[in-house]
Amino acid sequence: MDADFVIIGSGSAGSVMAARLSEDAANSVIVLEFGGTDAGPFIQMPAALSYPMNMKRYDWGFASDPEPGLGGRTLATPRGKVVGGSSSINGMVYVRGHARDFDHWAESGAAGWGFADVLPYFKRMEDWHDGGHGGDASWRGKGGPLHVTRGPRKNPLFQAFVEAGAQAGFELTDDYNGEKQEGFGPMEQTVWKGRRWSTANAYLKPALKRDNIELVRCFARRVVIENGRAVGVEIERGGKIEVVRARREVIIAASSINSPKILMLSGIGPAAHLAEHGIEVVADRPGVGQNLQDHLELYIQQASTQPITLYKHWNLWGKAIAGAEWLFFKSGLGSSNQFESAAFIRSKPGVEYPDIQYHFLPIAVRYDGKAAAEGHGFQAHVGPMRSKSRGEITLTSADPKDAPRIFFNYMSHPDDWEDFRHCIRTTREIFGQAAFDPYRGKEIMPGSAAQSDEALDAHIREHAESAYHPCGTCKMGRADDPMAVVDPECRVIGVEGLRVADSSIFPRITNGNLNGPSIMVGEKASDHILGKAMLAPENAEPWINPRWQESDR
C-alpha cells in the first residue's frame, strides 16, 4: 500500500486535504481513519447532537486528568472517532474567529496566517446562505463545499435574547462572521437541507468517487521515519501491523489530542519525556503536546413562565415526532442544532475585540442530554475566549493503544476567575432586561442565592464545562522558535516529508467554536503541500468598537 500523500485522520482538516490533494488526478492519496461510518440518524440529524459525542462507537472516549482548578473533577474530552472526525459529532456551530485572532497568529511567528491571508480561504470553503436574514455578503463565500446556514429562529426567546442584549447597551450584529463580530445576532450552523454538513459530507464523500483516493480503515500507530524523513505510517488492522508508504509526504490531521501523541510515539517531542518511555528521539521538539488550550463555559439557566420552550418536546413522544419529521422530510426541530442566537462581547474597557461568547438555547438542558431542568426554561452558554491557562498532552506509555494524559490546567490563572464571575453577572444583567419580562421565572443555575465572589467561584469550580475546543498542542511558529512544532507551511520542524494540519497547530485559541478555523487550516495547508501560490490576501478591516478603550459596550 502506497500513495503520494498519506493523511492520518478524516476529520475537519483531514477530509479537506484529502479532497484538495486528490483534485489533481496525478496525485494519489490514502486517508487513514480508525473510526467507522457516519451513516445513521444520530450523526446526520442536527438536533441529536448530544448523542454521538457520548457514544463509544463515535467518540475516542478521552478524559482529562483530575483538574485542580475545578476541584479535582475529570472532564470528558470527546473527539470524533468516525468518518468526518469531530465535525461528525460536534455542535455544528460555525464561527470563523475574529480577524485579530489571526493577526495575532502572524505576529507570534505564523507568518502568512494573518486575517488578510486566511480570509480568502474562509471564502473558498464557504457556501453561505443567509436565509434572507441580512448579513455581510462581501465578506462571505459562495459556491464552496461547506454549506453554512442560519436556523429559523421561530421561538420568540431567540429574539428576546438579542433584544435584551441591545437593551443592556451592547451592539447588534447581522453577521458575526462578517465585518462586525461584536454584538448580539443570529448564530450560524454547518447544516444543509436539514442534515449535519460535516467535512465528510462536504469534502470527503464527493472526493472518494475519484480513482486516486482511498479511505483505509485502520489504527495509525506511528510515523515511520528513515534518515530524518517520514516515509510512511505504521498501521494496525485485522490484528496485523503493516506500513503504508508515502512517496511524497505524511500529513497528520488526527486532532489536538492524537496528533501530538502520534508525533511523540514517532520520536518527535520533548527528548527527556520520550526517553522516559524508551522512545528513540528523532527530533527534540519540546513544544509537542504543550500549549494546550480550550474554552470553558457555564450554562446560566432561567425558568420560563410561558410553556414555549423545547421542554414540551423533551419526552419520548416529542422526540419521536421530531425524529419522524426529520427522517421523512429533513425538517422540523430535528433539522437545527437549536443554537440560533449568539453574541460576542468584550469583558471590560481596554479589551480591543470580543473575549466572551454566548450560545443561546430555548431549553434548560446539559450538553450530554442527561438533565433537562424540571419544566420550561432557557439558557445561555457563556465563557471567556482567551484564558491565559495552558495545559499539556503527554504520553502515558510507549504503547500506541494507550490514551495520552490530558491535563488542561483549567482556571490556573487568577484572571480566569475574575473573567468567569463577570460572565455570570453580565448574563444576569441580560436576562434581567425588559425583553425577558414576559418569560422570566426564577434563576435555576447558579440560583439567586449565589451572589458573592466566593459563592460564584464555588459554582464555577463545580459546574464549568468544556466547550470541547482543545487546540494548540503542535504550535505553528518560526522555525527558530524552540516551542514551535511546525513552521508556517505546516512542516514539522526537524523532519522532512512530514506535516501537521489541524487545530493542534493554532498558536492561540480563536474566538468561538473551532470547527471553522480547523477546516480553513485544511484548505490553506493543501495549497502549501501542493506548492501552489497562496490565494491573494484581502485587506478587509474588521469593525472595532470605537468605544473599546472607554467601555465594554
92 is in an annotated binding site: yes
CA distance 94 to 83: 19
Q: Using CA atoms of 49, 121, 109, 295 in order, give the dihedral in degrees to the nearest 10.
A: -20
Hey, how many other C-beta atoms are within 10 angstroms of the C-beta on 531? 7
Give dist(CA 471, CA 518) in Å, integer.
Answer: 10
Distance CA 496, CA 450 (A): 56
Cβ 207 vs Cβ 22: under 8 Å? yes
| Annotated binding-site residue? 83 | no
Kindly report the number of other CB atoms within 10 A of residue 544's CB atom.
Answer: 15
Please check whether residue 149 is in contact with residue 354, taking contact to mean a CB–CB distance below 8 angstroms: no
Question: Which grid coordinates are listed for 540?
Answer: 478587509
Whether cis (ω within 30° of 0) applies to the bond prior to 446 is yes
Residue 400 C-beta-side C-alpha neighbours within 13 Å: 18
Contacts of 27 (CB under 8 A, 6+ apart): 4, 5, 21, 212, 530
CA distances (Å), origin 137, targets 82, 126, 127, 141: 33, 11, 11, 8
SS3 assignment, position 403: coil
Give the count of beta carbons closer than 10 Å to the beta carbon of residue 480.
Answer: 9
Q: Which of 98, 147, 381, 469 is catalytic?
A: 469
Q: How far apart are CA 336 and CA 315, in angstroms?
A: 18
Q: What is the DSSP string of 76-91?
A: EE--B-BTTGGGGTS-
CA–CA separation, 403 vs 406, rounded Å? 9
- State the CB neighbour count (10 A cutoff) for residue 450: 16
The answer to whether 459 is a known catalytic residue is no
90 is in an annotated binding site: yes
Q: How many Å apart are CA 52 and CA 55, to the nearest integer? A: 5
93 belongs to an annotated ligand binding site: yes
Cα(79)–Cα(58) distance, integer angstroms: 8
Which among 392, 488, 391, 381 has a CA at the least distance from the CA of 102?
488
Residues of the binding site:
82, 90-93
Residues of the binding site for FAD:
82, 90-93
Annotated active-site positions, please?
469
